[in-house]
Structure 1
């Protein structure tokens, strides 16, 4: 089944790019269109952290106390009831493993928020824009619907029409953190080739990405023996993942897949599985299967 057929059968609008890391052969659907990348930007964030650690600018064991004012909700430290003290390297771990928004926000503040978009530019990712971290994203959503906090947003958002939701900045690639599927696979290729910074920094990012706990998207589509490393991103009605599938025969494939649904929910196992099937179809095309 082709990539387009996988998206059509799954009832989603899709974008995808697959890149053979070593030969640079590609496959995809709408790979150069701008897409919202949500938490996928955390790959760039952790890469900048790893580069600073490798350069001796940051001590990964430095400890940070997360207080009530830091918490953004969601998984990980954002759901804690009390203050939590973590090292910078553990903030990076939670950022990647459970997409912890609080950890990512604090880590970004510590490494310097202006450096993440500068890193994208340095790597030649000219269509990748990073407009702040998780806090800025959430604050824009609250402001756009007139909510004062997450509880009020949770009451208002379900009553919005599709047209009203479309006006929110977080759903517009021109007004929020965004990229293209092709640029995201290029970023992954650079990391896997040790070309996104010092080899030790690239290795650190690969190791942290391998600890992601989500498995229902890319990882669910590949057979045992294929190592899948990834980073998810999710917003209501938007489901995405970027990662690398490494085969026992040495084949390595960078993947970036995005899907939009009509219903504005964040948890859809059927859509997760569509992402994986589309990625698997792209890899099969590159491998001539």
Structure 2
């Protein structure tokens, strides 16, 4: 069966992309998105093969690589790492916000990178796993449009450099002529919505990482604490949502898997850019959950 990347297929899905675009547009969002049945062929998408700057969603590729290397016997995720105070990648959560020395295993660092999107924890993983290894992993998984190019400390530093004396607030001014490299898919970590759902589907099917370390990877990817985007569209006790957000200036992303009690599973990726300079946009965040729910409902028929 051939696939038009901007069309729907599945059960009664013809009108769903139009309704999803209305929800996102009403919230002031431009989006590249893709939703697929993890265990079947049904899918929905819009601009699913367009390159996007992934922000913190890229931690999915990093953490998957860690546990895939563990399954191959090349990395021990239980190995402890000494983390002295200071000289940590900036961020508002996890080790990035902590002041004292710590000692954590690689898998606990992966848990922090997913649960609270800890930049410092993620960069320790980059240092131990290696950028080339992450790129080799995505190539082996057939993700042809995904590239790892920078640590999170480098990403944050580039934003500060581009902002100059005006600070980050200057970058949020719609009239600002400053080119922000962090928003350019060609300048840093990048992927597509389709590659991202392909990664998630391969993880949940046990193909990207098999055995006990595959089970540990699923556990870690289910730890995210944020409920304001993808999970907001599925407020049910018997529906499990595992996700990873990405937030940077005007970028508002989320990718994850929605699992229903009947056993059906759906990989979801929404990469959005807000037309508003405001940092707090609860309506835009919840629109991502609403759009995801519309897509999953359409695929469920």
Provide the TM-score with structure 2 as the length reference. Answer: 0.88
Give the Cα–Cα distance (whole angstroms) in 2 for the partners of residues 73 and 260 of structure 1: 21
Deviation track 1:136-177 (CA, whole Å, cap 9, x = no partner) reads 211222232346xxxxxxx51212443646611110112121
Residues 234 and 266, structure 1, Cα contact 8 Å, conserved in 2: no
Provide the TM-score with structure 1 as the length reference. Answer: 0.91
The aligned length equals: 281
Change over 3 Å in CA distance of 1:266–1:117 after alignment to 2: farther
Deviation at 1:261, TM superposition (A): 1.1
* 1:76 match: 94
Taking the TM superposition and a 5 Å limit, the aligned residue runs for 1:163-178 are: 164=176, 167-178=179-190
Residues 159 and 168, structure 2, Cα contact 8 Å, conserved in 1: no
Give the Cα–Cα distance (whole angstroms) in 2 for the partners of residues 239 and 72 of structure 1: 19
Q: Unaligned 5+ residue runs, structure 1?
A: 148-154
SS of match in other structure, 2:167: helix
* 2:116 match: 98
Deviation track 1:160-200 (CA, whole Å, cap 9, x = no partner) reads 44364661111011212111111100111111111113233
**Alignment equivalent of 2:211, drawn from 195, 199, 202:** 199
SS of match in other structure, 1:257: strand
SS of match in other structure, 2:143: coil
My pick for the range that moved more, 71-80 or 231-240, is: 71-80
The alignment's C-alpha RMSD in Å is 1.7
My pick for the range that moved more, 26-35 or 265-274, is: 265-274
Residues 15 and 181, structure 1, Cα contact 8 Å, conserved in 2: yes
Q: Is 1:187 paired with 2:199?
A: yes
Change over 3 Å in CA distance of 1:48–1:81 after alignment to 2: same
Residues 3 and 28, structure 1, Cα contact 8 Å, conserved in 2: no
Give the Cα–Cα distance (whole angstroms) in 1 for the partners of residues 105 and 90 of structure 2: 18
